[in-house]
Amino acid sequence: MPTPATILLSSLQGRAGDGELRKLVASVGFAVADHSLGSAPAVDFEPVVVAVIDTGERVEVAAAQTRRWRAELGDQIVPVLWIASAELVATGLDAGADVVLARPVDPVTFLAHLRALARTRANAARTAVRAAEARLLGDQLKRALAHLDREQDMARRVRATFLPKSFPQVGSVRFHVRYHARNRAGGDFHDVRRLDEHHVGFFVGDVSGTETATGGLLGAFVQQSVVLKEITGHSYRVVPPNEVLSAVNRQLADLGADELPLVAMLVGVLNAKTGALTLARAGLPTPVHVPADGAPGVWATPGPFLSTADTTYQLLSNTLKPGDRLLIGTDGTRADGDPGSGGTDCLLEAATKHRALTGPGFVDAVACELLQQVRHADDFTLLGVEMMV
């Protein structure tokens, strides 16, 4: 059963009639605590409704006592009821009383006021408990968010160790990248690997739809899962890009996660001697080909996202001639960053606009053009492949 509210009766000691008032309060189930009007002993205000019973000659004492209690209680809600003569109603209210009943007091009205004030006190106590719980929950949430921030920072630092600091130079092929980490977790990844004397493999990827540490760690996992060359005994085989994507897709499925973010990726293998290039794409924006002569265009090849289904990927074969360039961007290069949007109009337009440039200057100019249009916080990666003249 709930603890009954305590009514603190503050009155002059030995005042005639106060005993009857005490019995009346106790008769309806309230606990009663006595207090000598004007004294200042320690008072337990939990749970308490205060009834101050004054006399005309002690009204200053009652008012001072009420004001002192209000100052001591601060934000605590403890209802105070005064019983006073009619001309002292305003005095009691100004001193801090919530209700002032004028003598003579109707017992029914008096008890109804006490019950109402006791409800107010109980509601305030419950609200205070909920507020304390909310503050505790808020503190726990702050600690959890701080922990998450630390995890994201660690994930980004770990993932950054997997990104290449420089690219190999194979024959007349050169690679240039413009990478911008635009959220705390990071999801983009890229790499260029020399496979043999003439072949070089490269890939660009993007873990979409997440700003948690999962995106960065999953990108690192995919990056380390890429196998571009298989060695058997004393021989090796350059793995075609479509097989690379299928293998990565299977490894993602083997993680057994109920819901994985979408993973987009493009893999290419280039013969630096002949310019022969094979590509396979899984959800990443279509690459843009900028020939030495002629208008830039897209090299379209279909391919579903990784981690969505057990599927195969088509292989695109083409040739990069001396002076040709190929631009590969992640979803972060799109104005809206939407992995579901089609086309590479902005990338194609920027490549066309800056095609007179070469080397890293060309990639930087295109990247700057695209970054001015970006309206999101996705990571930005633009990889350029160039066959030197």
Q: Are residues 28 and 172 in the same domain?
A: no
Q: Are residues 105 and 227 in the same domain?
A: no
Q: Are residues 382 and 241 in the same domain?
A: yes
CATH for 362:
3.60.40.10
Task: Flag whether 141 is in a domain.
Answer: no
Q: Are residues 107 and 252 in the same domain?
A: no
For residue 311, give both structure tokens: 């599927």
Block residue for tokens 């001193």:
95
Tell me the angle at which helices 213-225 and 241-254 cross, rounded to the nearest 10 degrees: 130
Q: Are residues 168 and 123 in the same domain?
A: no
Task: Flag whether 144 is in a domain.
Answer: no
Structural domain tally of the chain?
Answer: 2
Expressed as residue numbers, the domain containing 19 is 6-130
For residue 279, give both structure tokens: 């590509």
pTM above 0.75, yes or no: no
Per-residue pLDDT of the chain (389 residues; tens, 9 = 90+): 567 788 888 888 656 557 788 888 898 889 888 888 888 777 777 767 788 876 666 888 899 999 999 998 888 888 999 998 899 999 999 999 999 999 888 999 999 999 999 999 889 888 988 999 999 999 999 998 888 778 777 777 776 777 888 999 999 999 999 998 866 556 789 999 999 999 999 999 998 765 555 666 788 888 889 999 998 888 999 999 999 999 999 999 888 777 778 899 999 999 999 999 999 999 999 999 999 999 999 998 888 999 877 888 999 999 999 999 999 999 888 877 666 544 468 999 999 999 999 999 999 999 999 999 887 778 899 999 999 98
For residue 128, give both structure tokens: 């205070």
Single-letter amino acid, residue 346: C
Q: Please, what is the end-to-end C-alpha distance for the chain in angstroms?
A: 91
Q: Are residues 169 and 26 in the same domain?
A: no
- What are the DSSP E strand ranges found in the chain? 6-11, 31-36, 48-53, 80-84, 99-102, 173-180, 188-194, 199-207, 229-232, 235-238, 263-271, 276-282, 288-290, 297-298, 316-319, 325-329, 380-387
Q: Are residues 186 and 125 in the same domain?
A: no
Q: Shortest CA distance to 336 belongs to which of 375, 285, 379, 377?
A: 375
CATH for 25:
3.40.50.2300
Q: Are residues 11 and 58 in the same domain?
A: yes
Task: Flag whether 154 is in a domain.
Answer: no
CA angle 324, 325, 329 (to 5 degrees): 160
Q: Are residues 101 and 173 in the same domain?
A: no
Q: Are residues 215 and 356 in the same domain?
A: yes
Task: Flag whether 148 is in a domain.
Answer: no
For 326-386, give the DSSP string.
EEEE-GGGSSS--TT----HHHHHHHHHTTT--HHHHHHHHHHHHHTT--S---EEEEEEE
3-state helix vs strand vs coil in the chain, percent to 5: 35, 25, 35
Q: Are residues 176 and 313 in the same domain?
A: yes
Q: Are residues 107 and 183 in the same domain?
A: no
